[in-house]
């Protein structure tokens, strides 16, 4: 069973990851059930998964909904009795690790972001070096790792904050890319000419338009390139709460906003037709969009502070500091290379992407699930679950409340830096509790699980993604 937050029709990395993992698990003969947030409680049967949507409030300023009542998810787990639990959220769904441990179900959590860097990014400059950002992240990460059998990270960059703690249950599994869909053969001169003249270099950003994605750096790079009289055109494929601000910043510049591109074939054609792709986000944990560009044969310019610096090897793009000026320098350097080498550069980009396949990702995750450290050796999960169930709901409620309180403590620590993912989701939970749930802190929720109070109010935190 998979459970996740930050999944929406127009969202990127987590939704894509869930889709490919579910398809791979199903192909391997497993039954997949997904629990994700939705506008209402509903059930969708897909060929690769049974999707259970839990009514959840929308997180203001984002396109995401966040499940703020983890006991409702626990009730679904009680009903479905999964053999394995895979959680793609480190905020409001953290208590599910406790549920899995009490029921003898092997559990795995995927860290789709690097907490210490997010805290550092969103801490006001005047408070950097004052607030205990790293200590807060370490405490939250130690708690997260202790609550699940396995912690999965997708890059060495993302793993670093767990390696620092000596986390023994850490596993590294890179994500993959759709190599058939994103391919140099989709290069389309007609499509290219719809956006840029022959003498202009076509630059593309494919990203959700949120502050932490730093798409403003790409806009600033275009402004600098225009100042240097370099003929370019930037096309931004993506939408989000930051779009209006970016459009104002790009006023008068050769920048086109496409909004969210739902047609994946069209996006593949755009990436393959571009001269360069830009990925300016400083806290990208994996960066599927950059990998899709490479698979399309398009070199990328990435932020040196992100995990994408691992992806860009010599010959497939450039690594730049996070400013418009340095990104402009990188663009000029790449565009100045002899045209005769373009075929080789595109081939190198494609070859790099071919090292990342979804089949390898699925195999890695299945390997983690097969380790089953908390399962019965004869009947993984089942015997232990039945024994635990015989004790009734009181112990489960107490343990569930303790896990949730632990998550809330981590969230409050993150509020001190105004930026943690846990703080963001917990803050949303606090507001949603008032609006959507009338139960007091000691009330009993669905299926006999305890409803827990939300953490104390804090300042609104910025949106996150995978």
Q: How confident is the model at residue 452 (pLDDT cuts 50, 70, 90)?
A: very low
What CA dihedral angle connects 427, 429, 435 and 436, to 10 degrees? 170
In this prediction, residue 410 has a pLDDT band, given cuts at 50, 70 and 90, of very low
Backbone angles phi and psi of 352, in degrees to 5: -65, -45
Highest averaged pLDDT of the listed ranges 294-308, 339-353, 368-382, 387-401:
294-308
Q: Which of 16-20, 202-206, 257-261, 377-381 has the lowest mean pLDDT?
A: 377-381
| pLDDT band (50, 70, 90) for residue 294 | very high
Report the pLDDT value the prediction gives residue 409, as an integer from 0 to 100.
Answer: 37
**pLDDT at residue 48 tops 60:** yes
Distance CA 302, CA 228 (A): 21
Paired with 83 in beta bridges are: none
pLDDT of residue 334: 95
Question: Is the model's pLDDT at 146 over the cut of 70?
Answer: yes
Q: In Å, how far from its chain's centre is CA 451?
A: 27
Rounded distance, CA 86 to CA 372, Å? Answer: 12
CATH architecture under which domain 2-176+358-448 falls = 3-Layer(aba) Sandwich (3.40)
| Cα–Cα distance measured from residue 434 to residue 35, given in angstroms and rounded to the nearest whole number | 23
pLDDT above 70: percentage of residues in the chain: 79
Q: What pLDDT sits at residue 229?
A: 98
Confidence bin at 390 (pLDDT 50/70/90): very low
Give me 109's structure tokens.
């959590």
Instruction: Compute, in degrees rounded to 10, the torsion defined by CA atoms 334, 340, 343, 348.
Output: -50
Query: What pLDDT is attached to residue 10?
Result: 67
Q: Return the pLDDT at 223.
A: 98
Q: Which residues contact 387 (CB under 8 A, 6 or more apart)?
A: 104
Cα distance between residue 154 and residue 389, in whole Å: 35
User: Where is pLDDT greater, at 386 or 356?
Assistant: 356
pLDDT grade for 351, boundaries at 50, 70 and 90: very high
Cα 456 to Cα 93, 288, 415, 426, distances in angstroms: 18, 35, 10, 9
Q: What would the two tokens of residue 105 be?
A: 């179900």
How would residue 118 be classed by pLDDT, with cut points 50, 70 and 90? confident
144 or 381, higher pLDDT: 144
pLDDT > 60? residue 441: no
Residue 256 tokens read as: 């086109």
Looking from the CA of 455 toward its CB, the CA atoms found within 13 Å total 25
Band (pLDDT 50/70/90 cuts) for residue 119 is confident
Band of pLDDT at residue 218, cut at 50, 70 and 90: very high
pLDDT mean over 69-79: 96
What percentage of the chain has pLDDT greater than the value 90?
A: 67
Least confident range of 1-10, 318-327, 439-448 = 439-448
Please give the structure tokens belonging to residue 34.
């997904």
For tokens 């370099």, name the residue. 230
Asked whether the predicted pLDDT for residue 38 surpasses 90, the reply is yes
- Domain(s) labelled CATH 3.40.50.2000 in the chain stretch across 2-176+358-448, 184-353
Q: Which residues contact 169 (CB under 8 A, 6 or more apart)?
A: 145, 148, 149, 150, 151, 373
Q: What is the mean pLDDT of the chain?
A: 82
pLDDT band of 121, cuts 50, 70, 90: confident
Per CATH, the number for 184-353 is 3.40.50.2000
3-state secondary structure the chain: CEEECCCCCCCCHHHHHHHHHHHHHHHCCCCCEEEEEECCCEEEECCCCEEEEEECCECCCCCCECCCCHHHHHHHHHHHCCCCEEEECCCCCCCHHHHHHHCCCCEEEECCCCHHHHHHHHCCHHHCCCCCHHHHHHHHHHHHHHHCCEEEECCHHHHHHHHCCCCCCEEECCCCECCCCCCHHHCCHHHHHCCCCCCCEEEEEECCCCHHHCHHHHHHHHHHHHHCCCCEEEEEEECCCCHHHHHHHCCCCCEEEEECCCCHHHHHHHHHHCCEEEECCCCCCCCHHHHHHHHCCCCEEEECCCCHHHHCCCCCEEEECCCHHHHHHHHHHHHCCCHHHHHHHHHHHHHHHCCCEHHHHHHHHHHHHHHCCCCCCCCCCHHHHHHHHCCCHHHHHHHHHHHHHHHHHHHHHHHCCCCCHHHHHHHHHHHHHHHHCCCCCCCECHHHCECCCCCCCCCCCCCCCC
Q: Is the pLDDT of residue 456 over 50?
A: no
Q: What pLDDT does 11 receive? A: 65
> Which structure tokens are listed for 63?
């396109």
Highest mean pLDDT (candidates 322-336, 412-426, 435-449): 322-336
pLDDT band at 164 (very low <50, low <70, confident <90, very high): very high
**In this structure, are strands 170-172 and 107-110 parallel, antiparallel, or unpaired?**
unpaired
For residues 218-231, average pLDDT: 98
**8 A C-beta contact, residue 57 and residue 428:** yes
Strands 85-88, 2-4: pairing is parallel
Arithmetic mean of pLDDT, 133-152 = 95
Judged by average pLDDT, the poorest of 62-71, 121-130, 347-356 is: 121-130
Work out the pLDDT band at 372, boundaries 50, 70, 90. low
CA–CA gap between residue 282 and residue 265 (Å, rounded): 27
CA 95/CA 107 separation, integer angstroms: 12
Q: What's the mean pLDDT in 236-265?
A: 95
Give the model's pLDDT for residue 416: 34
Residue that is written with structure tokens 């920048």 in the block:
255
pLDDT at 360 over 90: yes
- State the average pLDDT over residues 345-349: 95
């Amino acid at each position: 069973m998979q459970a996740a937050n930050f999944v929406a029709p127009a969202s990127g990395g987590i939704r894509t990851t869930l889709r490919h993992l579910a398809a791979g698990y199903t192909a391997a003969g497993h039954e997949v059930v997904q629990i994700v947030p939705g506008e209402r409680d509903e059930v969708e049967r897909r060929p690769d998964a049974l999707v259970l949507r839990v009514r959840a409030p929308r997180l203001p300023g984002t396109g995401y909904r966040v499940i703020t009542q983890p006991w409702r998810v626990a009730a679904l787990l009680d009903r479905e009795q999964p053999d394995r639990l895979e959680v793609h959220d480190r905020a409001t769904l953290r208590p599910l690790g406790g549920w899995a441990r009490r029921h003898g179900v092997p559990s795995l959590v995927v860290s789709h972001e690097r907490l210490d860097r997010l805290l550092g990014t969103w801490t006001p400059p005047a408070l950097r070096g004052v607030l205990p950002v790293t200590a807060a992240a370490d405490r939250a990460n130690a708690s997260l790792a202790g609550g699940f059998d396995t912690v999965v990270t997708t890059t060495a960059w993302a793993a670093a904050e767990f390696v620092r703690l000596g986390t023994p249950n850490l596993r590294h599994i890179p994500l993959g890319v759709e190599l058939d869909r994103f391919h140099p053969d989709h290069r389309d001169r007609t499509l290219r000419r719809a956006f840029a003249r022959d003498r202009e270099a076509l630059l593309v950003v494919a990203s959700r338009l949120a502050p932490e994605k730093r798409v403003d750096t790409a806009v600033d790079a275009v402004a600098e390139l225009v100042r240097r009289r370099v003929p370019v055109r930037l096309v931004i494929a993506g939408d989000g709460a930051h779009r209006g601000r970016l459009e104002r910043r790009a006023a008068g510049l050769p920048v086109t906003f496409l909004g969210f591109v739902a047609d994946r074939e069209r996006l593949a054609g755009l990436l393959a037709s571009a001269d360069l792709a830009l990925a300016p986000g400083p806290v990208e944990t994996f960066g599927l969009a950059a990998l899709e560009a490479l698979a399309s044969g398009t070199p990328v310019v990435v932020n040196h502070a992100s995990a994408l610096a691992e992806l860009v090897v010599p010959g497939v793009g450039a690594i730049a500091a996070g400013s418009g000026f340095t990104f402009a320098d990188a663009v000029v350097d790449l565009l100045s290379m002899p045209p005769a080498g373009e075929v080789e550069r595109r081939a190198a980009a494609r070859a790099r992407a071919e090292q990342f396949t979804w089949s390898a990702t699925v195999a890695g995750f299945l390997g983690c699930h097969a380790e089953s450290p908390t399962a019965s050796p004869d009947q993984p999960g089942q015997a232990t679950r039945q024994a635990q169930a015989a004790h009734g709901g009181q112990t489960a409620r107490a343990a569930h409340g303790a896990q949730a309180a632990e998550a809330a403590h981590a969230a409050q620590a993150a509020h001190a830096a105004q930026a943690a993912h846990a703080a963001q989701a917990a803050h949303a939970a606090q507001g949603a509790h008032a609006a959507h749930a009338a139960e007091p802190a000691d009330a009993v929720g669905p299926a006999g699980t305890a409803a827990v109070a939300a953490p104390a109010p804090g300042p609104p935190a910025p949106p996150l993604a995978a």
